[in-house]
Amino acid sequence: MARLTVSATKGNLLKIREEYVLELLRLQAQAVKMRRAMVRALEYAYQSLTAGLLALGSNAVARAALGVEGDDRVFLKDRAFLGMPMPIVEFQPGSRRPQFSFGSTVSSLDECQLAIREALGQITALAEVEAVLWRLAGELQRTVRRSNALNYVMIPSYRETIHYLEGALEEREREALFQLKRVKARKTKRA
- Render pLDDT for 26-42 as a digit per residue (tens, 0 to 9): 888 999 999 999 999 99
**pLDDT, tens only, 119-132:** 988 999 999 888 88
Q: What is the domain count for the chain?
A: 1
The pTM assigned to this predicted structure is 0.62
**Domain presence at residue 145:** yes
Q: Is 128 exposed, middle or buried (0-12, 13-18, 19+ CB in 10 A)?
A: buried
**Helices 107-149 and 10-56, axial angle in degrees (round to 10):** 160
**Domain presence at residue 40:** yes
Domain that holds residue 133: 13-69+96-150
Residue 6, pLDDT > 70, answer: no
Residue 156, pLDDT > 60, answer: yes
**Domain presence at residue 8:** no
Q: Is the dihedral of CA 126, 132, 135, 139 positive or negative?
A: negative
Residue 1, pLDDT > 50, answer: no
Nearest CA-CA partner of 41 in 105, 129, 112, 99: 112
Question: Which amino acid is residue 79, in one-letter code?
Answer: R
CB 135 within 8 A of CB 84: yes
**Domain presence at residue 187:** no
**Domain presence at residue 131:** yes
